[in-house]
Amino acid sequence: MAETTYREAVRAAIDDAMSSDERVFLMGEDVGHYGGCYAVSMGLLEKFGEQRIIDTPLSESTFTGAGIGAALNGMRPIVEIMTVNFSLLALDQIMNNAATLLHMSGGQFNVPLVIRMATGGGKQLGAQHSHSLEGWFAHIPGLKILTPATVQDAYDMVGLALKDPNPVLVFENALLYNDKGELDTSAKPLPIGKAKIEKEGKDVTILTYGISLFKSLEAAQTLAEEGINAEVIDLRSLRPLDDETIMASIAKTHRVVIVDEGWKSGSLSAEIMARINEQAFYELDAPMARVCTAEVPLPYAKHLEDAALPQADKIVETVKKMVGVS
């Protein structure tokens, strides 16, 4: 067990995978000589060379398509897209090819492709570089969607994604890259599709993922000081969702708040609410609630951006209103 940063954990996972399997390679914009837009791949070009750490042109559709072709031919590519906003330029490749070829070929052709990308706001990068669209991708059958929040998951999820025979998208919140935590590279990872209870409680369930996990844990600490014992669950995987863990927690607490950095309309939080309505409606003692990003393009000004994003004080306010404490 050693302390490291989220960035170093992702880099170590890529390094380990490339060292143990010659089929694994990394490609994307500035991943080689520059070391990655967020310095995740710093030093890997010098270690593995230009045949396996590949700088690409600024053409997300082209290099994502190249990754699909390589995966179809037995390789294990990791494609890095700078931000989730730019992934829209590769949406045709991701949705119409990577996600569908297994089904369209009658099960003959798997696409074992890993796509990593930065997501999330809070960096004052404006409306074209700050969105959280992982909920959109979780809508698409044929894809698996992972959202590592902790340093351990930042490492584990790269390996899990590479072992999966299907396309897996890994969304790394850019504000987490400098965060430190404990990493055990020998630990057995939680599988894809399994949520984790980060804090047990009995009064309300808070469902969340990514950077909102830490805002939810901060809120739970504040609520505990006021006598409200919140259970906080890190979803980890948005497709597939861990319905079993979600419904078991609601059967215990009978109240639920969903914290989702996506917009509220048509969101992942809306999908989770629908599932709870279908599977655990009679367990609820109060209407469900959610804390999401305000329905605006994310502002550049810091005070406006902070106001638009889910924050710990908003979570506390929402929970207190739900349990009838003002």
Look-up of token digits 């390589």: 70
Active site residues: 60, 129
Q: What are the Cα distances from residue 256, in Å, to 165, 205, 228, 285?
A: 34, 5, 13, 9
Q: What gap in Å lies between CA 97 and CA 292, rounded to an integer? A: 31
- Give the residue from 144, 180, 170 showing the smallest Cα distance to 9: 180
- For 263, the 3-state DSSP assignment is strand
**DSSP letter, residue 186:** T
Long-range CB contacts (within 8 A, 24+) of 184-190: 184/1, 184/2, 184/152, 185/12, 185/16, 185/155, 187/152, 187/156, 189/152, 189/153, 189/156, 189/157, 189/159, 189/160, 190/153, 190/156, 190/236
